[in-house]
Amino acid sequence: MKGPSEQRLSRTLGCVFALSIGAFILAIVNGGLWLLTGRVPNPQEDWGLWLFGAVFIAAPFGFLVLNRVNAKTPWITAVILTVVFWGFLYAVTFERPYEANNMGLLLLVLLSPLIIIAGAFAAHRVARGRL
């Protein structure tokens, strides 16, 4: 049995891991967008947006950490759903750059952490045979 300090440390490391997943996915998506559009990112102006994006993307993973989900299935499901949502966002933005005020798409992006969490826990229940 782990003591309270070990549990706190494992949660802290898990949250750092979740944030690193968010930062990595954001870097991949922004790098792909940079390569596709040729728009060079400006760190002096975009750092706040990048920080918010990394935390926003990491929210489902942090939720998995804080609920002590150690199985692989929900984590893999959360990664796949995150890539699908953010890839879809950037694909639509790249395909239709002049329709940036697509409210349905923005609502979908705002709800995506909740959908990702629900999908991860549903996959966890299916994998454990509790459907």
Q: Which domain holds residue 40?
A: 4-127
Residues 6+ apart with CB under 8 A from 127: 71, 73, 74
The per-residue DSSP string of 51-66 comes to: HHHHHHHHHHHHHHHH
Q: How far apart are CA 84 and CA 69, in angstroms?
A: 22
Q: How far apart are CA 40 and CA 31, in angstroms?
A: 9
Cβ neighbour number for residue 112 with a 10 Å cutoff: 21
Q: What is the pLDDT along the chain (131 residues), one digit of tens a residue?
A: 565 555 565 888 888 989 999 899 888 877 877 787 777 777 787 788 888 888 999 999 999 988 888 888 999 999 999 988 887 887 777 777 666 567 787 788 889 999 999 999 999 989 888 65
Helices marked H in the chain: 4-37, 43-66, 72-95, 103-127
Number of domains in the chain: 1
Read off the pLDDT of residues 2-30 as tens digits, 9 standing for 90 and up.
655 555 658 888 889 899 998 998 888 77
